[in-house]
Amino acid sequence: MIPEIGHYALVLALGLALVQAIVPLAGARLRDPALMGVGGSAAVAQFVFIGVAFAALVISYIVSDFSVANVFENSHSAMPLVYRITSVWGNHEGSMLLWVLILALFGALVACFGSNLPAALKANVLAVQSWVAAAFYLFILTTSNPFLRLADAPFEGRDLNPILQDFGLAIHPPLLYLGYVGCSISFSFAVAALIEGRIDAAWARWVRPWTLAAWIFLTLGIAMGSYWAYYELGWGGWWFWDPVENASLMPWIASTALLHSAVVMEKREALKVWSILLAILAFSLSLIGTFLVRSGVLTSVHTFASDPSRGVFILAILVLFIGGSLALYALRAPLLKQGGLFAPISREGALVFNNLFLTAACATVFVGTLYPLVLEALTGDKISVGAPFFNATFGPLFLPLLVMVPFGPLLAWKRGDLLAAAQRLLVALAAALVAIAATFAYDGQSVLAPFGMGLALFVMVGALSDIAERTMLFRVPFSIAIKRGIGLPRSSWGTAFAHFGLGVALLGIVGETQWGSERIATMKPGEKMTLEHYELTYEGTTPRAGPNFRELTAHFTVRRSGEVVGTLEPAKRTFSTRSMTTTEAALMQRGASQLYLSLGDQNPDGSIAVRLYHKPLVLLIWLGPVVMALGGALSLTDRRLRVGAPKPAKAKTAMQPAE
Amino acid sequence: MTRKQRRLTLIGAGIGVLGLAGALVLSALKESIVFFNSPSDVVEKRIAPGTRIRLGGLVAPGSIERSDNLAVSFRVTDGNRTITVAYRGILPDLFREGQGVVTEGALDTAGIFKADSVLAKHDETYMPKEVADALKKQGHWKDDYDKKAGAPAKGRAQ
């Protein structure tokens, strides 16, 4: 019964989406408030129905209803409750349902908190949002229906892919989807503006907070995914330039660019047309990401199953929306009023610099990700484009950006003074030089390490310099500086945090790549192995039975200069339902550094293959993005941006003119 | 600066950065991409020793030999040709005889493929796409490779 309710609700949501896609649009054309008003109620109702559908699937998973094909294929009654729930989105059909749930959520948010939007703009936005929704409902109902029943219900399910049975799966996809799908709002706003043929002040003020919210989720989602891959896959890598990772990185870069261009748009009324294009591109890249992951053209852990009809359907959605919106852009953009031009050395100029390099870097990732697919389609040659390609292209384009990051906030609008900005960065420069000298003294061989450390320090201290400058720290009494700090716009703090986080992540990346070390060995119980300052003793193994797996845990004692600092207990898990083995790596925190131990095969003579990594500063790689997201959140609480922030208390102040 | 000069600066900077990106991409594509080959491809294309490639196929049953210090060798086959692969390190969890595998490295002068990475797979039913295509090309593809054991036929679904 419950799956049928879900199925029915899904069909009703499609019906509502079709209404919402057409009626408000016609209303905006005919200037009919009643017709335009339909959009809002339809959006909320759509969210309710898709919520019912999602809840129905969750319940089917919780009660292990194996008569539902989707539950049978991806769940097991012995799995802990939390994994039975996360299994809902650990497969293709369920994750698409989560996708549309979030899409409908954003539509409903616009409907609820957009009461001060111009009625026609709101109607158009909701209609565009609903076109996307309708296309994906159709996709789910025709090719990926999660509610299909099996004629005779099996007694037990086939279990979830063991490497997805992890807490990381509970958080990573929802966060990433909130980011991916969050880009749909700025897309809908952009297309609505193009349909209307004008961009008014409300447009600029709405786009930034929505993009910011999406960007925060994307940042956290990508960082979470990276950390999950790091500890779950058992070989200590945190970024593989895997096409699926790139698929999430591209919308992130595009929305980062959009955030920066939106500042120019808001403050200086310039770059409007460019921002519209970026808004379209950011969501297009999200759609391409969905296509890459869901169509099965790539094979990776994210491709739960491949089915050509799905690929073709998503490709059609892709062509329709990306092609359609870009065609509309080509047609309408020349009619939009262009903003003013400005001097190259200015805040605007710095933000354009940011946009140029970010889009160029995004383009190289795009080429590297799609070139193998295109080449195979054209010539049949199969190639892999891996880390060397991206290091040689993305790296050099990101480098000037990092150097410029501290300068941006210190340049004035309209006409900046590069020399004055450089003077304010003297402290940051000094910090960088000290870091370079210290690193060089510590590790005389590597050229990259001192340079990377210096750059990271420059970015970090540079971000703080801006705040120090604005609060007049050290020039006025400390208490006054604090007061000035509290009085600063939250968005200034947000910028500082986000840029500081970037430096922190860079610090981690340099530490991990330049000084990381590893040892691989086979060990017998009682044997020792050393890496850096650590000595590892293999104590033996104990078997253990989990709810739906058997586990062999190996025990190691870690000593540093003779003293025990802890134990590492990596394990091998064997999941009987899928006859699959996973490696559970053991991690030990040492400040921001980690010791990472994973197991290989056990030999008949009792010895076991182990791989031990020492990863200096590795934790900063993920701490950086968390700080960045925190900066984004701070910026979102800025008074100017309260518009549309998805909190009811703030909606009251929504859409008032900027101060 | 006049309006025209400002516009030209902007356009010039744009073209400059895009040109830089294009140049980087072209040079990187020339140097850092790796071609996938099946054992038959390696023989037919006469791939020179030292050229970095990806070699994929099935791990020939009974071919895995382990020796000291985690050195391991196995044969990769596509049904027609077979190449011996030498690797040192820990093999992925799902490395098994008779299963698909993708390795990356280069041939040495004796015709042994020295792999420096053996790619991890994530699923017991997952066959690397390249391997599946290579097997199909050699006519050794069996339909049951990509069927999940025990999966109900789609037709039985409601």
Q: How far from the centroid of its chain's Cα atoms is residue A74's Cα?
A: 25
- pLDDT value for A240: 86
B44 in contact with A, Cβ within 8 Å: no
Is residue A501 a part of any domain in this protein?
yes
Confidence grade of residue A654 (pLDDT, cut at 50, 70, 90): very low
**So what's the pLDDT on residue A302?**
45
Residue contact A151–B158, C-beta within 8 A? yes
The answer to whether A592 and A599 have CB atoms below 8 angstroms apart is no
Give domain status of residue B25, yes or no: no
Chain A CB contacts of B35 below 8 Å: 381-383
pLDDT of residue B141: 59
Residue A420's Cβ-side half-sphere holds a number of Cα atoms within 13 Å equal to: 11
Distance CA A262, CA A143 (A): 38
Same domain (yes/no): A522, A511: no
B8 touches chain A (CB under 8 A): no
Q: CA of B127, closest CA in chain A: separation in Å?
A: 9
Q: Which chain B residue has its CA at the smallest distance from A147's CA? A: B158
**Amino acid in the structure at residue A485:** G
Alpha carbon distances (Å) from A112 to A43, A115, A228 = 9, 7, 35
Q: How far is A515 from chain B (nearest CA, A)?
A: 21
Give the model confidence (pLDDT) of A563-587 as tens digits: 999 999 999 888 887 777 888 899 9
Measuring CA to CA, which residue among A485, A461, A460 is closest to residue A471?
Answer: A485
Residue B86 lies in a domain: yes
- Which single residue is written with the structure tokens 């054309």? A29
- pLDDT of residue A375 exceeding 80, the answer is yes
Query: Which of A341, A348, A523 is the best residue to mutate to test the B interface, defined by the most B CB atoms within 10 Å of its own CB?
Result: A341
Average pLDDT of every residue of chain A: 87
Token pair belonging to B2: 């006049």
Interface contact B30, partner A, CB < 8 A: no
- Residue A554's contacts (CB-CB under 8 Å, 6 or more residues apart) are A538, A540, A541, A569, A570, A571, A599, A608, A610
Q: Which helix (H) or strand (E) holds A201?
A: helix A201-232
Q: How confident is the model at residue A652 (pLDDT cuts 50, 70, 90)?
A: very low
Query: Residue A350 to residues A252, A401, A495: CA-CA distances in angstroms?
Result: 20, 10, 14
Best of A1, A382, A385 to substitute, by most chain B Cβ atoms within 10 angstroms, is A382
pLDDT tens, residue order, chain B (158 aa): 677 787 788 888 889 999 999 999 999 888 888 888 889 988 888 888 988 898 888 888 888 888 877 889 999 988 888 999 999 888 877 788 888 888 889 999 988 999 988 875 544 445 566 667 776 776 665 544 443 333 333 322 32
| Chain B residues touching A397 at Cβ < 8 A | 17, 20-21, 24
pLDDT at A64 > cutoff 50: yes
Is B91 in Cβ contact with A601 (below 8 Å)? yes
Residue A518: is its pLDDT beyond 70? yes
Bridge-based pairing of strands B82-88 and A593-602 is unpaired
> Does residue A171 lie within any of the structural domains?
no
Closest to A70 in 3D by CA, of A5, A160, A195 = A160
The count of other CB atoms within 10 Å of the CB of residue B117 is 15
Residues 559-578 of A with CB under 8 A from B: 572, 578
Select from A149, A343, A579 the Cβ nearest to the Cβ of B1: A343
**pLDDT confidence of residue A418:** 84
State the Cα–Cα distance between residues B73 and B66, nearest whole angstrom: 7
Q: Do B25 and A522 touch (CB under 8 A)?
A: no
The answer on A184 and A123 residing in a single domain is no
Residue A322 has pLDDT above 50, yes or no: yes
Share of chain A above pLDDT 70, in %: 94
Both structure tokens of A658: 């900027």
Q: Does A158 touch chain B (CB under 8 A)?
A: yes
Report the C-alpha gap between A179 and A199 in whole angstroms.
24
Of A303-312, A338-347, A416-425, the poorest mean pLDDT is in A303-312
Angle between helices A167-196 and A2-30 (to 10 degrees): 20
8 Å CB contact of B35 and A367: no
Does A445 reach chain B within 8 Å, measured CB to CB? no
Q: Is residue B154 part of a domain?
A: no
Could you read off the pLDDT of A146-198 as tens digits, one per residue? 999 988 888 888 888 777 888 877 888 899 999 999 999 999 999 999 998 87
Do A290 and A346 lie in one domain? The reply is yes
In a domain, A169, yes or no: no
Whether residue A511 is found in the same domain as residue A546: no
Q: Nearest Cβ partner of A357 from B17, B66, B148?
A: B17
Confidence of residue A116 (pLDDT cuts 50, 70, 90): confident
Q: Which of B32, B82, B30 is nearest to B56 (CA)?
A: B82
First to last CA, chain A: 54
User: What's residue B129's pLDDT?
Assistant: 66
Domain for residue B46, yes or no?
A: yes
User: Domain check: are A429 and A452 in the same one?
Assistant: yes
Residues A222 and A243 in one domain: yes
Q: Are strands B82-88 and B71-77 parallel, antiparallel or unpaired?
A: antiparallel
Q: Are residues A461 and A560 in the same domain?
A: no
Region of A591 please: left (phi>0), alpha (psi -120 to 50) or beta.
left
User: What is the C-alpha to C-alpha distance for residues A317 and B114, in angstroms, rounded to an integer?
Assistant: 44
Cα A557 from Cα A500, distance rounded (Å): 37
Helix extents (H) in A516-557? none
- Residue contact B70–A364, C-beta within 8 A: no
Residue A131 has which token pair?
Answer: 């076109």
- The total number of structural domains in chain B stands at 1
CA–CA gap between residue A253 and residue A58 (Å, rounded): 33
At which of A105, A131, A151 does a domain end? Answer: A151
Per-residue pLDDT tens digits for A250-267: 999 999 999 999 888 888
- Is the residue at B151 inside a domain? no
Task: Tell if the pTM clears 0.80, that is, is over it.
Answer: yes
Q: Give a yes or no: residue A383 inside a domain.
A: no
Q: Residue B127: what pLDDT? A: 59
Numbers of helices and strands, H then E, in chain A: 22, 11
A351 CA: distance to closest CA in chain B (Å)? 12
Residue from B2, B29, B42, B72 whose CB has the most chain A CBs within 10 Å, to mutate: B29
A32 beta partners: none
DSSP A411-436: SPSSS--HHHHHHHTHHHHHHHHHHH
Q: How many helices (H) and strands (E) does chain B have?
A: 3, 7
Measured in degrees and rounded to the nearest 5, phi and psi for residue A88 equal -55, -45
Is B4 a member of any domain?
no
Q: How does residue A132 score in pLDDT terms, banded at 50, 70 and 90?
A: very high
Specify the 3-state DSSP secondary structure of A381. Answer: coil
pLDDT of residue B149: 35
Chain A contact present for B24, CB below 8 A: yes
User: Do A73 and A124 have their domain in common?
Assistant: yes
Q: What is the spatial distance between Cα A641 and Cα A267, in angstroms, rounded to a whole number?
A: 13
Number of domains chain A contains: 4
Query: What pLDDT does residue B4 have?
Result: 79
Domain with A492, as residue range(s), is 405-515
In the stretch 389-428 of chain A, residues with CB closer than 8 A to chain B read 389, 392-393, 396-397
Q: Is A391 exposed, middle or buried (0-12, 13-18, 19+ CB in 10 A)?
A: middle
Collect all residues of chain B within an 8 Å Cβ-Cβ radius of residue A603. Answer: 66
Q: DSSP labels for A107-147?
A: HHHHHHH-TTS-HHHHHHHHHHHHHHHHHHHHHHHHH--TT
Q: What angle do CA A40, A41, A42 make, to 5 degrees?
A: 90
| A341 at interface of B, judged by CB pairs closer than 8 A | yes
Å from B56 to nearest chain A CA? 11
| Contact yes or no for A148/A179 (Cβ under 8 A) | no
Q: What does the CA dihedral B114, B120, B125, B128 come to, rounded to 10 degrees?
A: -60
CA closest to A350 among chain B residues = B10
Shared domain check, A139 and A22 = yes
pLDDT mean over A334-339: 74
For residue A296, the model assigns a pLDDT of 62
The answer on pLDDT for A421 being more than 90 is no
Q: Is A69 a member of any domain?
A: yes
Query: Do B90 and A581 make contact, defined as CB atoms within 8 angstroms?
Result: no
For residue range B120-132, what is the model confidence (pLDDT) as tens digits? Answer: 554 444 556 666 7
Residues B75 and A271: their CA atoms lie apart, in Å, by 59
The C-alpha atoms of residue A494 and residue A506 are separated, in whole angstroms, by 18
**Can you name the residues that pair with B104 across neighbouring β-strands?**
B54, B117
Statement to judge: residues A144 and A266 lie in one domain: no
Residues near A462 by beta carbon (within 8 Å), at least 6 away in sequence: A405, A406, A407, A425, A428, A499, A503
Determine the 3-state secondary structure of A475 from DSSP.
coil
- Which residue is closest to B56 within chain A, CA to CA? A382
Question: Do residues A187 and A622 make contact, with C-beta atoms less than 8 angstroms apart?
Answer: no
3-state per-residue secondary structure call for A292-344: HHHCCCCCCCCCCCCCHHHHHHHHHHHHHHHHHHHHHHHHHHHHCCCCCCCCC
B18-24 contacts at long range (C-beta below 8 A, 24 or more positions apart):
B18/A360, B18/A363, B20/A360, B20/A396, B20/A397, B21/A360, B21/A361, B21/A363, B21/A364, B21/A393, B21/A397, B24/A364, B24/A392, B24/A393, B24/A396, B24/A397
* Both structure tokens of A174: 């929802």
Tell me which residue range forms the domain holding B75. Answer: 35-143
Cβ contact B32–A388 (<8 Å): yes
User: Do A392 and B33 count as a contact with CB atoms less than 8 A apart?
Assistant: no
Measure A35 CA to nearest chain B CA, in Å.
39
Q: What percent of chain A has pLDDT over 90?
A: 48
Do A134 and A202 belong together in one domain? no
pLDDT at residue A639 in the model? 67
Quote the CA–CA distance of A407 and A458 in Å, as a whole number. 11
Q: Look at residue A417 in the predicted model and tell me its pLDDT.
A: 83
Q: What is the residue-wise DSSP string for A66-98?
A: TTBHHHHHH--TTS-HHHHHHGGGSSHHHHHHH
- With vertex at residue A185, the alpha carbon angle to CA A181 and CA A190, rounded to the nearest 5 degrees, is 130
Residue A646 lies in a domain: no
Give the up-direction half-sphere exposure of residue B146: CA atoms within 13 A in the CB hemisphere: 15
Q: Specify whether A66 is located in the same domain as A132.
A: yes
Do the Cβ atoms of B32 and A386 come within 8 Å? yes
pLDDT the model gives residue A379: 82
CATH value at residue B133: 2.40.50.140
